[in-house]
Amino acid sequence: MIITTGEHDAPAAVERAMALAAKSGARFVSRNRTSMARLAELHPGEDILVVLEGGARLHRPGEQPMTFHPSMSFVRAKRLLKGEKDTMLEAAGVRTGDTIVDCTAGLGSDAIVFSLGAGKEGKVIAMEDSLPLWALLHEGFKYYVSGLQSFDESLRRIDLQRGHHLDLLQQMPDQSADVVYFDPMFRDPVLESSSISPLRSFANNNRLEEAAIAEACRVARRTVILKEKIGSGEFERLGFRVSGRARSKITYGVIIP
């Protein structure tokens, strides 16, 4: 993967891009007014992350670009701030001050809602194995501005970690989190939004391992939760109990360690 800036190479953007390249092990390439088409020709087959003022945009050959955007998490956040309930937070039993581990961060929407639910006293650890997605989230969590202060603060509080969730969970002490959450890619997808579909080319599509659930049960003090399609055999395979009445094509399974 290469990391660059917008066409005009603003000094602040160059500094951010170089810092991200050093942190991630990717290569920084000066944009120098080069078009994206020309950059793709000069670096065939490479993912290209463009650092922007309010986050970043990710390009992959043959795919639609993805720009960091909170999407439905912003809608959910506004509902929460009005005092409405969120199905995911209810299923996980999230409380103010909780430490929550989102093992499959993806585009970050659920991690953001968890951060709002846990509040300023809480902590959300978001794990992402894909380097391009991790880099996109890194810039988005730090620099995206929605205009809603409490929402932006929830992004800044997220502790984004790069690596496979099994490896990262194994490094965590026993009972060091309140909630551990999994939202794997559905192998037989429901109808998806235009923001979710491009994610499939970057995300890890492997099914969850029993070892990861065992580690989650060791780490979680209170709840391990899995988001999946209604009727998915993954709940039974991995030992999750589905409770409550689902209002959509997805639902949540819970393990009480």
* DSSP label of 45: T
**C-alpha–C-alpha distance, residues 58 and 250, integer Å:** 28
Map out the domains of the chain as residue ranges: 2-53, 72-255
Residue 188, pLDDT > 80, answer no
Read off the pLDDT of each residue in 198-225 and give the average, rounded to a whole number: 86
Residue 50 neighbours by CB distance under 10 Å: 24
Express each pLDDT in 102-150 by its tens digit.
999 989 999 999 999 999 999 999 999 999 999 999 999 999 999 999 9
Torsion, CA 19, CA 130, CA 53, CA 145, rounded to 10 = -120
Confidence of residue 192 (pLDDT cuts 50, 70, 90): very low
- Residue 11 is given by DSSP the state H
Mean pLDDT to the nearest integer, 22-29: 96
Q: Which of 79, 130, 127, 76 is nearest to 105 (CA)?
A: 127
pLDDT at 24 over 70: yes
pLDDT digits (tens, 9 = 90+) for 149-184: 999 999 999 999 999 999 999 999 999 999 999 998
* Long-range CB contact pairs, 159-163, < 8 A, 24+: 159/123, 159/124, 159/125, 159/126, 160/105, 160/126, 160/128, 160/134, 161/125, 161/126, 161/127, 161/128, 162/24, 162/127, 162/128, 162/129, 162/131, 162/134, 163/127, 163/129
* Interval 38-84: pLDDT, tens: 999 999 999 999 999 999 999 998 888 999 999 889 999 999 999 99
At residue 196, the pLDDT reads: 47
Architecture of domain 72-255: 3-Layer(aba) Sandwich (3.40)
Residue 197: pLDDT band (50, 70, 90) is low
The model's pTM: 0.92
